[in-house]
């Protein structure tokens, strides 16, 4: 890689110790770091917006003259400057932090260019803490967009813009800088790297401004491509590294498997059998298995995992089963005890809440070689020492980050050996997204539900018809069925969510005096949660009012009616997960999505999708489509992947090309591949080399 790339920033003109220090707080040490310190967004100061045309929530530049200045101190210092322009409208500039000199600088008659986000306030538009400069009537407008960089204390935008320009001047030519082979670059219709960097840092006058603001400019696409490619290569290398290590070769004992299957009240589906076959092959190979099992809610992943654990115990290695919530982990505990203890396996429980003597005993059992250890992320804590961990099973993996997954795997490492890894998820994700998120894993899909399930009938009902819904529950419970009433997050607070559930619980108790109702939310003690769950499972409670704690894993086949309050606020993935709690038995199940008016177009469409289909994969595709470009898929689906310019939803369609490029580079130019990873992932390379 070029010498310029590694030149320290303190060599740049105007970078003294203070600025160098501020730069290093942004992890910027070398010229190359600065090349890839990309603008977060742009300010469009190439034109003036009349005050009359301002729009709430949109940023704009205004040119106006100061009319009045008001300094106040109500609860905190405040400065209000009223300005007006040729459109004869007024705008208020509002400051909460300001210096005396700054306040005195505003004098009536002063002409200003003002930039900021307009808000509609009772007295007309206002901008809080705008950026502004004095201008003359003939001061020219900017001819290009102004980049806005991630900044920190001690270094402002103007310095970053200046330094970026200096760094760009030292950009080597593409032969040296660009690792993408020309042919590949052309195939993907991407500009060269040098060109892309120049455009994003200092957009020339001719730039397609709208595209740049919308983050869809080819220069941005090129950078996104490189970033996705760097992650792809990092994950592939991680995979290669792991696959080069030995792992216990596990062959299951046919008699014990037969005994396990014979004791089940059902036969495995074809899809379960096929996925189990994939796992058997992986386990026997003597290399670490790295497999993701995807299967829609209710497809029966748990029993497949238990069969893998049984095989591990046949080979005298331990299995750890980790679930994201205690509720789900306990349900696994019960299932595994049921299925595996009769065959002589020792199953140990270890969650964060297990303390004192119980914890000491659990730890001793784990160290002594207990076959299966089940718990939450507590399994990864210091002090948990396995005798011989051979298989790590992670359920609902989208709830854990990449790092947690790695931590559990590291537990089982002794020198060169590494445990097999089986991760499971019920969140179906479109294929292109899976390529990005799971590049280090092989994927098996359980694409069939156990027989006898009737599809869940879904209806959407306005909150105005609450009485009818309550009546429906009364009838269902009188017929011996059970029901859930879910109160999802209304504010971003578990406490408020718990309160909403509590209020609904009390309402329903009043409205349904003959129905035994339970309440379940995240702020209850684990023991109380468990006893409510037990009572619901046993049928003593007929209606369970719950928060979204029940979203993953909860399995009560007799429950066949689900009401989801405020359904308009939930995303498709979450609605699908919640609905998956019913339709698990033979009885026809239904799901009532209760919405509060007014219903946005997007919410209306989401509810329509839920009514139309029960197919998790179709819902995932639809979800991607509805979110549309620009809206980010949360960590729910992609673990902890944080991108600087790439956006998995917007850029999903280039993933096949990214995968191709990764293949090519790893094979033909491994040094360039490494350079790309360190360029984009930098310090986070432990993850690439873990």
- Out of 553, 580, 583, 639, the only residue in the binding site for Mg ion (CB under 5 A) is 553
Site for ligand ADP in 230-269 (CB under 6 A): 266, 268-269
Alpha-carbon gap, residue 119 to 136, rounded angstroms:
26
Tokens 């760009």 correspond to what residue?
Answer: 168
Query: Which one of the spans 47-55, 406-414, 547-555, 657-665 is the region binding Mg ion (CB under 5 A)?
Result: 547-555
Residue of closest CB approach to Mg ion: 553
Burial class (CB in 10 A: 0-12, 13-18, 19+), 241: middle
For ligand ADP, the closer CB: 142 or 534: 534
For ligand ADP, the closer CB: 197 or 426: 426
Q: Out of Mg ion, ligand ADP, none, which partner does residue 222 contact, by CB within 5 to 8 A per kind?
A: none
Element of type H or E holding 229: helix 218-243
CA of residue 19 relative to chain centroid, distance: 34
- 426 lies in the site for ligand ADP, by CB under 6 A: yes
Give the nearest distance from C-beta 318 to ligand ADP in angstroms.
Answer: 21
Residue 677 CA: distances (Å) to CA of 185, 228, 382, 666, 672:
18, 10, 30, 11, 9
Query: Which one of the spans 140-148, 293-301, 382-390, 590-598 is the region binding ligand ADP (CB under 6 A)?
Result: 293-301
Residues in the chain: 690
8-state DSSP, 417:
B
- Helix axis angle, 193-201 to 218-243, nearest 10°: 120
Query: Which one of the spans 203-211, 226-234, 315-323, 552-560 is the region binding Mg ion (CB under 5 A)?
Result: 552-560
Give the nearest distance from C-beta 395 to Mg ion in angstroms.
Answer: 6
For Mg ion, the closer CB: 508 or 554: 554
Site for Mg ion in 23-52 (CB under 5 A): none
Residue of closest CB approach to ligand ADP: 300
Query: Which one of the spans 69-77, 90-98, 376-384, 550-558 is the region binding Mg ion (CB under 5 A)?
Result: 550-558
Query: Which one of the spans 42-50, 69-77, 181-189, 553-561 is the region binding Mg ion (CB under 5 A)?
Result: 553-561
* Helices and strands per DSSP (H, E), number in the chain: 26, 21
Query: Which one of the spans 16-24, 166-174, 291-299, 348-356 is the region binding ligand ADP (CB under 6 A)?
Result: 291-299
Give the nearest distance from C-beta 97 to Mg ion in angstroms.
Answer: 51
Residues 591-623: b if buried by 16+ CB within 10 A, e if exposed: bbbbbeeebeeebeebbebbeeebebbebbbbb
Closest CA to 549 of 572, 527, 574: 574
Give the nearest distance from C-beta 310 to ligand ADP in angstroms.
Answer: 15
Q: What pairs with residue 103 in β-bridges?
A: none
Is 586 in contact with 266 (CB distance < 8 Å)? no
Q: Out of ligand ADP, Mg ion, none, which partner does residue 428 contact, by CB within 5 to 8 A per kind?
A: none
Query: Which one of the spans 1-9, 215-223, 298-306, 415-423 is the region binding ligand ADP (CB under 6 A)?
Result: 298-306
Q: Out of Mg ion, ligand ADP, none, which partner does residue 430 contact, by CB within 5 to 8 A per kind?
A: none
CA atoms within 13 A on the CB side of 582: 27
CA of residue 197 relative to chain centroid, distance: 28
- 560 lies in the site for ligand ADP, by CB under 6 A: no
Residue 641 CA: distances (Å) to CA of 199, 400, 436, 594, 636:
26, 11, 9, 33, 10
Site for ligand ADP in 582-601 (CB under 6 A): 584
Alpha-carbon gap, residue 263 to 266, rounded angstroms:
9
For Mg ion, the closer CB: 432 or 637: 637
For ligand ADP, the closer CB: 300 or 430: 300
Query: Which one of the spans 154-162, 195-203, 297-305, 316-324 is the region binding ligand ADP (CB under 6 A)?
Result: 297-305
Give the nearest distance from C-beta 316 to Mg ion in angstroms.
Answer: 27
- Out of 176, 208, 494, 555, the only residue in the binding site for ligand ADP (CB under 6 A) is 555
For ligand ADP, the closer CB: 197 or 620: 620
Q: What are phi and psi of 140, to 5 degrees?
A: -70, 155
Three-class secondary structure assignment of 626-689? HHCCCCCCCHHHHCCCCCCCCCCCCCHHHHHHHHHHHHHHHHHCHHHHHHHHHHHCHHHHHHHH
Is 378 in contact with 354 (CB distance < 8 Å)? yes
- Out of 130, 147, 300, 639, the only residue in the binding site for ligand ADP (CB under 6 A) is 300
- 298 lies in the site for ligand ADP, by CB under 6 A: yes
Interface residues toward ligand ADP, by CB under 6 A: 266, 268-269, 272, 295, 297-303, 426, 450, 555, 557, 584
Interface residues toward Mg ion, by CB under 5 A: 553
């Amino acid at each position: 890689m070029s010498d310029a790339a590694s030149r320290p920033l303190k060599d740049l003109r105007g970078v003294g110790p203070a600025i160098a220090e501020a730069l290093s707080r942004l992890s910027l040490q070398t010229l190359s770091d600065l090349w890839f310190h990309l603008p977060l967004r742009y300010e469009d100061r190439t034109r003036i917006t009349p005050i009359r045309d301002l729009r709430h929530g949109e940023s704009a530049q205004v040119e106006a003259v100061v009319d009045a200045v008001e300094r106040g101190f109500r609860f905190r210092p405040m400065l209000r400057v009223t300005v007006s322009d040729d459109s004869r409208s007024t705008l208020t500039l509002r400051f909460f932090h300001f210096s005396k000199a700054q306040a005195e600088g505003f004098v009536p008659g002063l002409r200003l260019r003002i930039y900021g986000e307009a808000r509609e306030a009772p007295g007309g538009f206002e901008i809080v803490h705008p950026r502004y400069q004095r201008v003359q009537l003939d001061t020219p407008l900017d001819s290009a967009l102004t980049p806005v960089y991630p900044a920190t204390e001690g270094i402002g935008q103007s310095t970053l813009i200046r330094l970026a320009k200096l760094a760009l001047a030292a950009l080597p030519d593409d032969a040296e800088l660009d690792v993408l082979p020309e042919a590949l670059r052309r195939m993907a219709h991407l500009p060269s790297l040098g060109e892309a960097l120049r455009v994003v840092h200092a957009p020339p006058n001719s730039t397609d401004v709208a595209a740049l603001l919308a983050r869809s400019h080819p220069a941005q696409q090129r950078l996104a491509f490189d970033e996705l490619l760097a992650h792809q290569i990092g994950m592939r290398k991680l995979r290669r590294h792991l696959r080069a290590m030995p792992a216990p070769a596990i062959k299951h004992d046919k008699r014990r498997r037969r005994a396990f299957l014979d004791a089940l009240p059902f036969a495995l589906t074809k899809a379960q059998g096929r996925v189990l076959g994939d796992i058997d092959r992986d386990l026997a190979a003597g290399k670490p298995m790295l497999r993701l099992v995807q299967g829609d809610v209710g497809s029966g992943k748990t029993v497949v995992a238990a069969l893998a654990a049984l095989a591990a115990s046949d080979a005298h290695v331990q299995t750890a089963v980790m679930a994201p919530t205690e509720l789900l982990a306990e349900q696994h505990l019960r299932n595994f005890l049921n299925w595996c203890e009769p065959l002589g396996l020792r199953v140990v429980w270890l969650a964060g809440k297990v303390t004192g003597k119980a914890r000491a005993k659990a730890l001793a059992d784990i160290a002594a070689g207990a076959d299966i250890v089940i718990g939450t992320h507590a399994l990864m804590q210091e002090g948990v020492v396995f005798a011989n961990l051979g298989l790590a099973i992670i359920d609902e993996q989208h709830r854990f980050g990449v790092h947690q997954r790695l931590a559990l795997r590291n537990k089982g490492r002794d020198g060169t050996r590494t445990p097999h890894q089986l991760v499971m998820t019920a969140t179906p994700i479109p294929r292109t997204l899976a390529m990005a998120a799971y590049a280090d894993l092989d994927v098996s899909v359980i694409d069939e539900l156990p027989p006898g399930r009737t599809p869940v009938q879904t209806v959407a009902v306005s909150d105005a018809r609450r009485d009818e819904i309550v009546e429906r529950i009364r009838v269902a419970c009188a017929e011996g069925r059970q029901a859930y009433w879910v109160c999802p997050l209304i504010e971003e607070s578990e406490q408020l969510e718990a309160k909403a559930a509590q209020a609904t619980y009390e309402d329903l108790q009043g409205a349904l005096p003959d129905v035994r109702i339970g309440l379940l939310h995240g702020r209850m003690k684990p023991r109380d949660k468990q006893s409510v769950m037990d009572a619901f499972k046993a049928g003593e409670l007929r209606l369970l009012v719950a928060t979204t704690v029940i979203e993953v894993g909860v399995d009560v086949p007799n429950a066949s009616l689900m009401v989801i309050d405020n359904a308009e606020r939930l995303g498709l993935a979450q609605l699908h997960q919640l609905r998956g709690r019913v339709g698990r038995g033979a009885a026809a199940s239904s799901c009532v999505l209760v919405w509060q008016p007014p219903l946005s177009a997007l919410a209306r469409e989401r509810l329509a999708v839920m009514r139309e289909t029960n197919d998790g994969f179709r819902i995932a595709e639809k979800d991607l489509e509805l979110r549309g470009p620009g809206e980010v898929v949360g960590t729910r689906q992609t673990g902890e992947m944080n991108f600087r310019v790439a956006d998995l939803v917007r850029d999903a369609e280039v993933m096949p090309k990214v995968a191709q490029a990764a293949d090519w580079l790893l094979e033909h130019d491994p040094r360039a591949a490494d350079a790309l990873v360190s360029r984009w992932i930098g310090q986070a390379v432990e993850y690439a080399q873990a």
